[in-house]
Each structure stands twice: as structure tokens, then as C-alpha cells.
Structure 1
Amino acid sequence: MPVLLKNSAETGPSHISDQIPTIIQRVVGIFGVVLMMAGIALALVKIARDPAWPSTVDLSLYLDAAQLFAQGQSPYVFNGSQDPFAYPPLVAALVASAGHLLGYGKLWIIWPCLSIGCLVGSVLLLRNFGRIVPDEWLLFLTGILLCSRIVRSDLYHGQINLLLLFVTLLGLRSFLKFDDVRGAIAWAFVIVCKPFMGVLIFYLLCRRSWRAAVLTASIAAVLFTGPFLLISNPIEGVRGWLATSAFYTMLPAAARQDHQSFRSLAMRLFGENPYSVPWFDAPAIIPVVGILAAAIAVGIFLVAIALLPDPTTRGEPSDAGRSLTEIGLTLGLALSCGPLMEGDHLILIWPALYGALLSARQSPIGGLAQRRWRLAAVTWSLALCAFALPVTVPLIVTPDWPVLQGPAILLSGRNGFMVLLACLLSMYALTASAVTRRSFEQN
């Protein structure tokens, strides 16, 4: 009996220590749920306390455009009090349809609630691609996202980035399951909502997914042109859309401090505008920067996507981590090197970080590919760190930007520089994975 008691005493502490990781995970999970509820409450309470909401936020642009569209008029109207509606008319048509039930007032709180559901759904979809951490930690990370100032602002203003992220992931999941029709419908929808997402078609072409690319382009063309035909003067509608699109991509609006593509940064550095004191007035430099950035983006894209073999063309299973990274890289290049990148647009490239982490986890331990994937994941984390900040941080997360001058103008392009660097390192990791795969096949 004494021996048994001794053994029990010796194994007791060891048994308790074995339970510590499980206890920590449970605490983390509970804390994550608390953060999620707090983030949701903060966003919805702010909406409920604003007596003028939604007329004071971006959602009012959709509602006003929907009312005009429902009357057969062009939804693209300029006035001095607010920015114009710039989405293709499909968004106005969808909002107009919902408006018959919801009206114009506070019932539209259902819109941010839908976005919350899309955020949670996106996390679950990413988990479905492959696990990188236990579920409790995913709950914790989701809670941090819902408490971040950028996401709460997105919910308050009624943006559609979280919806588009969810649908983009649905489309990618469908393509990886060889369901081209569902994938094409999903990606066509996001392309019509934000036309710069059309780079996804070029991604499909470079991956030699001809059927998927043709289906996506065809469905997008129908969804884009169809609603224009419901306007009494379709030509006027097309001209209005082109004019409002130009408004956001040209001076002075494109020089706003929250627009952080290289082209927007060049406008703040070398063009007269209300948002910065330029280093010197040389507007001719701006298109040169735009062309150079586009050339860099095309070069990275070709090396990372078009020139690397796709395992699925040889009947091998798809690499989910690599696919997520490729989508994030494609969209990251389009944003940082394109005409416009607002801070909340970075929501659309979250898959790149998850894909890099998943690829690092699945790479041979200690190998070249794993080291490169870890480096890429760290850089994506730095590029997306603003989504972990719950409060205002100058030049990173702030509602009111000062007139920039001197080195602060360069700092306003932080997102553009970090996203481009993350894309470069992701290309670096993708090439290492290709080398590792070829070595494995030869052996």
C-alpha cells in the first residue's frame, strides 16, 4: 500500500502538468468568446446610439443609389455633401431589393450583422482549408478582429469587404473541389462589386484553368451589364459609373491619406492636394510611379503564379495553403501597385497570412521552404497588424488624419510597402516549395 501511495503521489503532479495546456486552451477559448461578444456589442451599440444612422455613414450612399435605381434613374449623382456612389449598379439593385423590406432606417442594422456573420464564416472557411492552431485560438483571434478599430469601423459604415472576403473564399473552395460553376458564380459576384478583383480571372488563366476563367468572365459580364439595362438611360448610367470611378482614382480624392497604394503615395509626394504638403510639385512623376509599380506587380505575379507549375494539372491534390497565399498575393499586388488601396481593403488579403502559416506548418521541418514561409508569414502579420489594434494609432488606425508633410508622407504609404514586401517574400517561398516538390519527385 505505501508503494502505491508513493506512485500516486509521483504521478499526480505529472498528471496535473499534462492538463495545463488543455486548461490554457479552454481559458483562451472563453476569452475569445468574450472578445467576440464585446466587439459585436461595441459595434452595434454605436449604431444604436447614433440617431442619424445610417444617413451619416457610407451605407447611406448605397441606400440613396438604390432609391434612384428603383426609380429607373442613374445611381451616380455628384453632390457637394458626400462622396458619390461608385459601385457597379448590381450593388444598387441588390440594396433596392432589400430596401422594400427594410426601408431606410435603423432596420438596416441587419447589414453589419450580415458582415459579422461573414467574418465568422470566413474564419470557419479558412479552418476548413487546414488547421494552423487549435480552435480555441481561432476563437481568440476572431475576437481580436471583431474588437479591432478597422473592423468595427467597417461594420459601422456598412462596408462590404467582409462579405466579399467570405464569397471569395467560397469561390476558391469550390474551384479546389473542381466545382467550376459555383466557383465562377462566387468570383463573378465579387468582381462585379469591386472591379479590381477582376485580377482573379488572370489568376485562373495563369493557372490554366480555362473553363473556370471563361465561366467567371462570362457570368461577371452578365452581372455587370444587366443592371445597366434597367436604367432608363443606360448610356448615362455607364458614363456616371466611369465618372465616379475616376473621382476616387484621380486627384484630389486619390491623395487622401488612407489611400495607400504607391500611386496615391506619389500624388501626396508630388501633386498639389488638400491632404499633404508635397515635397515638390511634379505631377509628371505620378504616372511614372504608377507604371513602374504596375510593372513590378506584373513581374512578381508572373514569377509567383504563371511560371510555377500547378500540381492540379498533373492530377495531384491541390495545396490549400499555397492557393490561399496565391490569392492573397494576387489581390495584394493589385491593391498596392494599382490605382487605389484604402486601409480596410486589406481585409481582402487576409487569406495570404493564413496560407503562409498553413504552408509553413505543412513544409518539411527545418527545410528551406519552411524557413521562407515563416518569413513570409511574419511579414504578412506586420502588414496586417492594424487589425489587432482596438484604438486609434497615428498613421496606422485613425479617423482624422492631419495634413501630412515631410517624412510623414512616406509613412502614410506603410501599407503599400509592407504588402509589396510580403508579396515578394511569398514569391520567394513559393519558389522554394516548387524546388522542394521537384526534389521529392526526383528522389
Structure 2
Amino acid sequence: MRNTRPLDFPRTRPTFIVLAVGAVVALILLFATVDPWLDKSGILVGGLDVHVYRDGAWRILHGRPLYTEPTFYGLLYTYTPFSALAFLPIERVPWAAVTDTWLAVNMVVLLGCVLLSWRILGYRIGRRLFGLSVLLTATCVFIEPVRTTLYYGQINLLLMLLVLWDFSRAPHSRGRGLGVGIAAGIKLVPSYFILQFLALRQWRSAATASGVLVATVVVSGVVLPADSRQYWTSTFFQSGRIAVDTHPANQSLRGAMAHLLGRPAPVWLWLILACVVATVSSTIVAALYRYGESLLAVTLAGLTACVISPYAWGHHWVWFVPLLVYLVHRAQYRRSWWIAAVALYVSIGAWAYHWSPTWVSIGVFLLPPSWPVSPILMNAYVIAYFAVLGCAGVLVRRLRRAVVDVGRLPERVDESQLLASSRPSSDVTVD
């Protein structure tokens, strides 16, 4: 639950300095390391995915099949039929302007995600916080999930914006769940948040999201009957259309198992472990939300959706952005949290992201795949996820103890004051 009264962001010069330095360093590193839109042979590389989206929209306008023929540059279309309808506005953008236009849109959406994260934390969006959000947005462009999303023209930031918009609203507000339903209609992974609504016992939001998702399937079935039939009866079950499980880019639990085993893991084993992880995560998410940690709750849910997916590219992990916002928020009460923020940033930065037959790199790790440690370190995002899951569990335990010390759970949970109330000191900090 969010605080009922918006809070003003603290006047902290160190925060401004840290984010200003981070923004400058991130932009310098980005322009110094990012590949150009075209490779040396003149073939388009940057904006590749958004051109696939545009080609999908072009195909349904011209009566061409979505799934039985290769699309742009021979790539296969893997999204739902409804996504092609949602991408129709992109088809109206001239081909040569698509990459840069979508890059600009993604930057605005990234800023929107940062601002919505502050809203979920209960802050009032004033000029000071907006300025800090611009700096934090610039700082985030160099973390690998965001860098890859911007570079390839992916849609993950927009899907995250829709989900955050839902969770920034009051639990019983009308239309809450609309964003999750639309996001799930475009790309099925966000449907995991329907389960989170159920775990939070927010039945109305879960019903709204489910209804909107079903509506996207019905609408696309009416408008695109052949493509819908092909997708839901065949394409949906062909996970190999994306890539093999053992690919270093597969930053999911299933991918980690394949990396460690050297071959695809048994499906039954992955399903059991994924269900266990989802159950543990949902329990922690519900507790976090109950104790007023709404942003960390939705962030953990987003990270969990990535880790239990059959295949998760690095750019799916844009949920590290609200996690960074949360850590900056925490650092306002205790500066030691800057250490956690910097550690996360370093571990997911776009320092040397690359893979080939001779080298593997995820985040800061650039190692020969023949090294014994490579199958472990190439799962950097999965490792980071379990670290976040464990820390969230510890936080829930501390909050539970603080509530016991207070004697009851107040209607308006201010977590920093809740923790401070259990200390003899009058200094209000967050531990």
C-alpha cells in the first residue's frame, strides 16, 4: 500500500552529486562503447527489433502471414497476434526514421518508469525530484538491459511502464489491471502479474487484467483468424523459435540450468524449480506489499517473471531500473545503501557484453567459455536475482519483528518510521 499523503523528496546534495556523476559517466561510456546503427558491411544492426515489429504490422496490413514466413532479415516473429495490431502506429513511421524515433520514445518511457517508481514510493513529483529523475534516467542508459533495449529498439520498457502504472494506483481503483492486461496481450510474460494480484488478494485488479488479456485474444482472433489459429495451436509451443536454452544470452532459471549442465535441462525439473521460486517470491511479495514496500514488491515480481520464463534475454531484465530507484530511496535514510546501488550498477553495466565461440561476457565478466567458472558467472542476472530475493526475505523478517515491537500494524505504514520505532535512538533511519 502507498502512503496516503505524498512526501517531498529530501534535500540532499550528495544524491544530486552522485547521480550527476553517474549520468556523465554513463553517457561517456555509452557513446564510447556502443556499436553504430550499421555494421561495417552496411547492414542495419541497431533498431533491429523495432523493424521486426514494423514488419509484423506491415504484414497484417498486406495480408501476409505472421508466423509461417521469416520477417525482417529472416528473423521469426515470436509475439502474439495482438502485438501486431498494437504495432500498427509504428508502420506509419518512415522506414529510415523508425530506429531513431523508437529510441526517443524509449528514452521518454524510461523517464516515465523512474517517475512512476517514485510515485509508488509515495513521493510528490516536484521540480527537484524531476531533475534527479532525469539524472537517474541518464545513469540507467548504461546498464546492460536498458542499453540493449535502446540499441535493438525493444519494447520491454513500455511493458514495464504499463505494469508500474497499474501498481502506482490505489488497490481498489477502477481500471487497475488494465496496464497488466494490455502488456500481457502484447507479450505473455507480464501475465505473471495477474498471479501477483491474486497473491495480494486484489481480486478486482486480477479480474480486470484477465478480462483485458482475454479481450486481446478475442479481438486478434476476429481480426486475424488465420494468424491467431497458427499462433495458439502451433507457434506458442515452439520455444526453439527464440534460441536454444544453452545460449549464453538466456538469463533465466532454465538457461542457468542448461549452462551448468551443458545441455537443455529436463522440462519437468525446470517446471518444479520455477514453481518453487514463484511460490517463495509471491510469499515475499505479498509480505512486502503488506508492510508498505510496494515498489520493492512489484520489482521483485518483475524480476521473478524474468527468471522463471523459459527464455529471458538480457533486455528483459529492465526491472533493475525500479530496483535502482528503490536503492537510491533507501540511501536517503542510510548512506550505506549507496554501496548496494553501486554494486548492482557495476554488476549489470554494459562493460563488455559479448559472446562468441571463444569468449563469453555477461556484465563485467569476459571469460573463455572453457574456464570452469564460466558456466556459473555467465548467469549474472540469475545470480543477482537470488541475491535480491534473499535480501527481500531478510527485510520482511526485520519488518515483521518491528511490527511485533510496535504492537500493531498501523493503517498508514511508513517503513522508515516503523523500523526506527523499535530503536532507542531518535535518529530515523532505515536499516
TM class by shorter chain equals 0.7 to 0.9
Q: TM-score, normalised by structure 1?
A: 0.73
Q: CA deviation at 1:287?
A: 3.0
* Residue 116 of structure 2 is aligned to residue 121 of structure 1: no
Counterpart in the other structure of 1:229: 222
Q: CA deviation at 1:143?
A: 2.2
Counterpart in the other structure of 2:281: 301
Q: Of 83, 86, 92, which residue of structure 2 is paired with 1:91?
A: 83
Larger Rg: 1
User: Closer, same or farther in 2 for the Cα pair 1:88/1:327, shift >3 Å?
Assistant: same
Q: Of 309, 314, 318, which residue of structure 2 is paired with 1:347?
A: 318
Counterpart in the other structure of 1:154: 149
- Give the letter aligned to residue 209 of structure 2: T
Q: Of 184, 191, 194, which residue of structure 1 is paired with 2:184?
A: 191
* Residue 257 of structure 2 is aligned to residue 286 of structure 1: no
Counterpart in the other structure of 2:165: 170
* Residue 175 of structure 2 is aligned to residue 204 of structure 1: no
* 1:364-383 equivalence runs, <5 A: 382-383=343-344
Q: Percent identity?
A: 16
User: Closer, same or farther in 2 for the Cα pair 1:346/1:56, shift >3 Å?
Assistant: closer
Counterpart in the other structure of 1:15: none
Q: Of 309, 320, 324, which residue of structure 2 is paired with 1:338?
A: 309
Q: Considering only aligned residues, what root-mean-square deviation do their CA atoms show, in Å?
A: 4.0
Counterpart in the other structure of 1:325: 296
Q: CA deviation at 1:427?
A: 2.0
Structure 2 unaligned blocks of 5 or more = 1-11, 355-359, 409-420, 422-431
Residues 145, 151 of structure 1: 8 Å contact kept: yes
Q: CA deviation at 1:156?
A: 2.2
Residues 259, 343 of structure 1: 8 Å contact kept: yes
User: Closer, same or farther in 2 for the Cα pair 1:30/1:202, shift >3 Å?
Assistant: closer
Q: CA deviation at 1:212?
A: 1.0
Residues 35, 143 of structure 1: 8 Å contact kept: no
Question: What SS class does the counterpart of residue 395 from structure 1 fall into?
Answer: strand
Question: What SS class does the counterpart of residue 65 from structure 2 fall into?
Answer: coil
- Give the letter aligned to residue 224 of structure 1: V
Alpha-carbon distance in structure 1 between the residues aligned to 2:259 and 2:19: 44
Alpha-carbon distance in structure 2 between the residues aligned to 1:173 and 1:288: 36
- Give the letter aligned to residue 202 of structure 2: S
User: Closer, same or farther in 2 for the Cα pair 1:291/1:265, shift >3 Å?
Assistant: same
Residues 182, 213 of structure 2: 8 Å contact kept: yes
User: Closer, same or farther in 2 for the Cα pair 1:36/1:405, shift >3 Å?
Assistant: closer
Counterpart in the other structure of 1:429: 395
Between Structure 1 and Structure 2, which shows a larger proportion of helix residues? 1
Structure 1 unaligned blocks of 5 or more = 1-20, 271-277, 312-318
Q: CA deviation at 1:201?
A: 0.9
Q: TM-score, normalised by structure 2?
A: 0.75
Alpha-carbon distance in structure 1 between the residues aligned to 2:246 and 2:204: 39
Question: What SS class does the counterpart of residue 431 from structure 1 fall into?
Answer: helix
Alpha-carbon distance in structure 2 between the residues aligned to 1:139 and 1:406: 42
Alpha-carbon distance in structure 1 between the residues aligned to 2:311 and 2:62: 31
User: Closer, same or farther in 2 for the Cα pair 1:350/1:32, shift >3 Å?
Assistant: closer
Counterpart in the other structure of 2:427: none
Alpha-carbon distance in structure 1 between the residues aligned to 2:22 and 2:369: 38
Question: What SS class does the counterpart of residue 255 from structure 1 fall into?
Answer: coil
